[in-house]
Amino acid sequence: MKWINRLDKYVVALLIISVAVAFLIHFPELISLADKELNDQTLFPDLEFNEVMSEVLFAAVSLIGLFLLNIAIFRFDRPSSRIGWAKLGLSFLFTWLASMAFSKLFIFLHHHLGLPVIHSTAHHYLHPLRDIIVASIVTGICFISYLIRKSQQVVLENEQLRTENLLTQYEALKSQLNPHMLFNSLNTLRSLIRETPDKAQNYLQELSYVLRYTLQENDQKQVTLEEEMHFVRAYIYLLKMRYEENLNFDISLPDGVERAQVPPMSVQLLIENAVKHNEISKRRPFTIRIHATEAALTVSNRLQPKLTSTAGTRIGLSNLAKRYQLLFKKEIVVTQGDSLFQVQIPLI
């Protein structure tokens, strides 16, 4: 259907150009025909309406034929064709000769079928000049059309390459993210199996759900905040199974933000990052706050670094920042003060 629409637009443009040029090259005759009072004092005396319209109509048909012949022979419709000066010159020469041949055909049809023609001497002397003008116009428009098509193809190819590059980068980021989460979850499961086997069974069921979500959303570039938060609450359950009352969450999401879009596992990543780098114990309970506005979602926590912690690689935040840049051309905002750490991600 798209191909037919493009063809229709091209055919309509071809017809409009042909008719317009046909009228323009017969503009002197049309002026003389319109001004009957000066008819006898012009270069084209005694003009008849049917004669002028016959010439214009045949010129329009000839122009359409010349366009089609040029396209068929020199492939101006193919951006992959190589159109140099030599080929352009051949096109002009061919069109000029073909235009003269069409003029001879018109005379032949006049003599044998009685087509009306203009008998003015000046009109006949103008025919060679008009053949050159027609050849120049046809060749020029065909070449301009070729350049436009070629430019559009270059833009399309560049966009395709850019899209493929973005997809490659995005897939690389996802492949980096999923093993990271699985590794942390299995470590937690190992600890629960050793310490509280009964809780480990429930944890394993919830972990299966979380991993199933991860796999299902693996091909998605963005999900609704509502979908992400369903996943986050399951992930929070896994965390609280391990940390119990030592880990708390303060979640505040206003009505109307559920349909906003975020990259999958983005909020979960921020929670995981906070848990990874902060002490969570009976001595120092830990609270993660999640709140949102119409424009952004913020995950924040009070800083209480682990005593044995090492400098983080910030792979998770770097991953999330790159995904936002690739998908939405937007930036996340990371703020770290003396006692507070927060990350703000845009809601799309």
For all residues of the chain together, what is the average pLDDT?
A: 79
| Residue positions counted in the chain | 348
Phi, psi of 7 (to 5 degrees): -65, -45
- Model confidence at 3, in pLDDT bands (50, 70, 90)? very low
Q: What is the mean pLDDT of residues 256-260?
A: 88
At 312 the pLDDT is 54
Round the CA-based radius of gyration of the chain to a whole number and report it: 37
Phi, psi of 311 (to 5 degrees): -60, 130
At 1 the pLDDT is 43
pLDDT value at 175 more than 60: no
User: Are the C-beta atoms of 303 and 284 separated by less than 8 Å?
Assistant: no
Q: What is the mean pLDDT of residues 234-245?
A: 83
Which pair of tokens denotes residue 244?
Answer: 């119990």
Question: pTM surpassing 0.75?
Answer: no
Q: Write out pLDDT tens, residues 285-322.
A: 999 999 998 899 999 999 988 876 555 546 678 778 88
Residue 296: helix, strand or coil by DSSP? strand
Q: How far apart, in whole angstroms, are the C-alpha atoms of residue 163 and residue 69?
A: 38
Segment among 99-103, 162-166, 175-179 with least mean pLDDT? 175-179
User: Are the C-beta atoms of 317 and 311 separated by less than 8 Å?
Assistant: no
Q: How far apart, in whole angstroms, are the C-alpha atoms of residue 21 and residue 63?
A: 8
Q: What is the mean pLDDT of residues 130-138?
A: 87
**Full DSSP string of 146-169:** HHHHHHHHHHHHHHHHHHHHHHHH
User: Are the C-beta atoms of 76 and 138 separated by less than 8 Å?
Assistant: no
At 4 the pLDDT is 42
Q: Write out pLDDT tens, residues 106-123.
A: 888 877 887 777 776 666
The residues that bridge with 334 in the sheet, in sequence order, are: 343
At the top level of CATH, which class does the domain 196-346 belong to? alpha beta
- Model confidence at 343, in pLDDT bands (50, 70, 90)? very high
Do the strands 247-252 and 286-292 form a parallel or antiparallel pair, or are they unpaired? parallel
Q: How far apart, in whole angstroms, are the C-alpha atoms of residue 93 and residue 87?
A: 10
Q: How far apart, in whole angstroms, are the C-alpha atoms of residue 182 and residue 264?
A: 15
Segment among 150-159, 164-173, 194-203, 301-310 with least mean pLDDT? 164-173
Beta carbons within 10 angstroms of residue 240's beta carbon? 14
Would you list the domain boundaries of the chain? 2-159, 196-346
Phi, psi of 306 (to 5 degrees): -65, 145
Residue 330: helix, strand or coil by DSSP? coil
Q: How far is CA 9 from CA 4, 29, 280, in A?
A: 9, 31, 67
Stronger pLDDT, 73 or 215, i.e. the higher one: 73
Segment among 20-29, 70-79, 185-194 with least mean pLDDT? 185-194
Burial of 249 (0-12, 13-18, 19+ CB in 10 A): middle
At 317 the pLDDT is 80
Q: How far apart, in whole angstroms, are the C-alpha atoms of residue 211 and residue 178?
A: 9
Q: How far apart, in whole angstroms, are the C-alpha atoms of residue 128 and residue 134?
A: 10
Do the strands 333-336 and 340-346 form a parallel or antiparallel pair, or are they unpaired? antiparallel
Sheet holding 333-336, edge to edge: 247-252, 286-292, 296-302, 340-346, 333-336
Q: What is the mean pLDDT of residues 139-162?
A: 80
Phi, psi of 252 (to 5 degrees): -135, 105
The residues that bridge with 346 in the sheet, in sequence order, are: 296
At 290 the pLDDT is 94
